[in-house]
Amino acid sequence: MAVKIKKGDSLGLLNLTPIIDVVFNLLIFFLVATKFEEEDRELPIVLPQASEAMPLTVKPREVFVNIDESGRYFVSGQYIDEAQLEQALLQAAADNPGRQKVFIRADERSDVRHAVTVMNLCNRAGIRDYAITTAGLETPPPAALEQ
């Protein structure tokens, strides 16, 4: 005697019409949104010239200032004193006005005054986007510490 297994009717009752409607609506939305975006770029306008506009002279890149336990400053693997550090920060700020980022990596055994000195030099150079990194936070988010 064969055993008869009754199969459920749940798969037969699945209505795909609402799912297809949603997919078509999404497709139409993205097609229309793309068309509007293209039209914005194709408007026949003459853009004004800005006398104070500055081209991007150097690709913005972060400056990492490392401080060892004795309070010595290292930038790009090279030891520099406080005056050279100030000149390096001034040059970085001049190359990327308003966009320069500085990450301060101080040894936990170093005196906090060395990190404060770097922050003060950043402020003098006009760099406001600087942060002190910690273990587990090697590349902090952009707004980690703004002064």
Ordered structural domains, the chain, with CATH: 63-132 (3.30.420.270)
Give the pLDDT score at 7. 67
Weakly modelled stretches of the chain, pLDDT under 50: 140-147
Give the pLDDT score at 65. 92
Instruction: Answer whether 103's CB lies under 8 Å from 140's CB.
Output: yes
For 26, half-sphere exposure in the C-beta direction (CA atoms, 13 angstrom radius) is 6
State if pTM tops 0.85.
Answer: no
Give the pLDDT score at 145. 40
* Per-residue pLDDT reduced to its tens digit, 69-87: 888 999 888 899 999 999 9
Write the CB contacts of 95 (distance below 8 Å, at least 6 apart in sequence).
57, 58
